[in-house]
Chain A
């Protein structure tokens, strides 16, 4: 069998807070194959972004640290790697785009300069070659008149164009993995459609794997092949997107899908109440307890849920859910 591009094994990340140490990522394992799109879903505070930062080696210094587990990228463990090696991988092999393109770009440099800078630093291109390559990249992300726009400053561009420029910069060194952290949350829906379309095409052209972090089940359904639902730092459910949407095996996944009023193809004049997931994500203090952390919000709560942390249940269709009642759902 082919070795996966990225293999994360039993990753645990601890965050030091005022109230002590909390496992913001608690024993997470997953793999990512070359060219695949994997999506992380969950509410804010569930550890989606923390996973991305860990993969990039960008955990907040002195606050967050990998306490156990491995991040195997092409066989080498990033959890043990030196800062210098991580810096080399970051940008070259794994790159990231963020939610807010305005604050992620340097406001005093032109877009072209910023992309060229990345190319010169990582690939040792000459000034002129880097500039030309930057223009080619802007063209690849469908910015009209790339030659002219390369001289623009971030504030002169619209939100959608800034996100494109971010993507161009992330793609500068032809990374093997592109991590997109809520890339369209700040954008309008028509612009989001453009960006999703662009990301899909770029994946086909470059063969890069994409990790898409989002709270929007619709986006997951459109973009990804597999998804991981995160809750309170733990994996709740993992599997192929279509299978999970058709038949979620974890009550949280079910809640996430049902609580959103999706646009329906068949519209009826009677409207029912939305299914609620009561309550909110537990505070960091609750993280790491030996019980199901979703129990306090769950309709299917039984004694077993409070007695121990649920073990993942594997299903034949490659779906797996960390729930004591997965089979009943």
Chain B
């Protein structure tokens, strides 16, 4: 009596939401180009030191040799160190700090936001007051204090960046949880006997992820910038080279040898821009409102 509702062709395409998002992402040319560039930068950071085995701390030539001359592609800095080698080796540190700081913000932010948004009531009150406390702290000052007190090691810098930037993720996570917990499928899971842990992390969180992913992608960019800021102020591990540190150490010679500051500046600019574009693309691809049915 009842006939099948769907035509055959529609039955076959069991598309995973991920496949669909990727199709959407691919339409955004700028984001795809940025992703390619980002991949290139990451490869450069990992394999660059092997392909161009010059010690970034070694004095290889006279200071302030301009780019292209004397056989050094990007020239040398005020101590006569090879700038190309510094950029390559700095990429690894900058990216690492960016990624691990972003990871830290996500872990703290998602946990705080999820608990606040799911349990509401007193839990939410306390957690959101804590979040607000971290939000009103002057971020740069606070992280400077941390680094100054506990020493400028890489983990400490990462921690200092992470601890001041998780609030945005927490707020987004909380608002997504508040929205999704009221949807009927969450109620349905509860009626099916799901525990709170399952509701939080298996039902609500996967559906809350898109804006969190976007935010954390952007967080990588801002963490790189933040590290650059700290390095510029001299708050950095002197035993590693990062892009920010190159700028910081060369800043006195900005008028005489502008390229020593400009080149790492461009590297930061390009990387952060690429990350932003990828984040933008992700936003479009993961936001179902923009996605056509």
Binding site for B on A (CB under 8 A): 18, 276, 278-280, 296-297
Contact = CB atoms under 8 A, between A and B. Distances in A.
A280 B2 contact: no
A279 B292 contact: no
Contact of B292 (A18, A280, A296, A297): A18
B16 interface: no
Interface in B135-170: none
B289 interface: no
Interface residues of B, number: 5
Given A276-B1, A278-B2, A278-B3, 9 more contacts: A18-B292, A276-B2, A278-B1, A278-B5, A279-B3, A279-B5, A280-B5, A296-B3, A297-B3
Interface in B49-74: none
Nearest to B2: A278
Contacts of A296: 3
A166 B115 CA distance: 43
Nearest to A17: B292
Interface of B: 1-3, 5, 292
B102 to A, nearest CB: 35
Contacts of A276: 1-2
Contacts of B5: 278-280
Contacts, number: 12
Contacts of A279: 3, 5
Which 7 pairs show the lowest CB-CB distances between chains A and B? A278-B3, A278-B2, A279-B5, A280-B5, A279-B3, A18-B292, A276-B2
A150 B5 CA distance: 50
B10 to A, nearest CB: 8
A311 B2 CA distance: 28
A236 B260 CA distance: 76
A18 B3 CA distance: 28
Nearest to A286: B7
A217 B54 CA distance: 82
A280 B3 CA distance: 10
Contacts of B3: 278-279, 296-297
A59 to B, nearest CB: 19
A296 B5 CA distance: 10
A182 to B, nearest CB: 21
8 contacts: A18-B292, A278-B1, A278-B2, A278-B5, A279-B5, A280-B5, A296-B3, A297-B3
Contacts of A18: 292
Contacts of B292: 18
Nearest to A280: B5
A274 to B, nearest CB: 12
B3 to A, nearest CB: 5
Nearest to A279: B5
Nearest to B9: A285
Nearest to B10: A283
Nearest to B3: A278
Nearest to B292: A18
B8 to A, nearest CB: 12
B271 to A, nearest CB: 35
A18 B20 CA distance: 15
A276 B292 CA distance: 30
Contacts of A278: 1-3, 5
Nearest to A18: B292
A278 B5 CA distance: 7
Contacts of A280: 5
B121 to A, nearest CB: 27
A78 B1 CA distance: 46
A297 B2 CA distance: 10
A286 B88 CA distance: 57
B291 to A, nearest CB: 11
A18 B1 CA distance: 34
A18 B5 CA distance: 22
A296 B8 CA distance: 13
A297 B5 CA distance: 9
Contacts of B2: 276, 278
A224 B292 CA distance: 36
Contacts of A297: 3
A222 B122 CA distance: 53
Nearest to B4: A279
A66 to B, nearest CB: 23
Max count, chain B CB within 10 A of own CB: residue among A18, A276, A279, A280:
A279
A168 to B, nearest CB: 33
B12 to A, nearest CB: 15
A318 B292 CA distance: 42
A258 to B, nearest CB: 14
A248 to B, nearest CB: 21
A146 to B, nearest CB: 37
Nearest to B293: A18
A18 B27 CA distance: 13
B47 to A, nearest CB: 41
Contacts of B1: 276, 278
A13 B138 CA distance: 58
B182 to A, nearest CB: 18
A246 B201 CA distance: 56
A280 B2 CA distance: 11
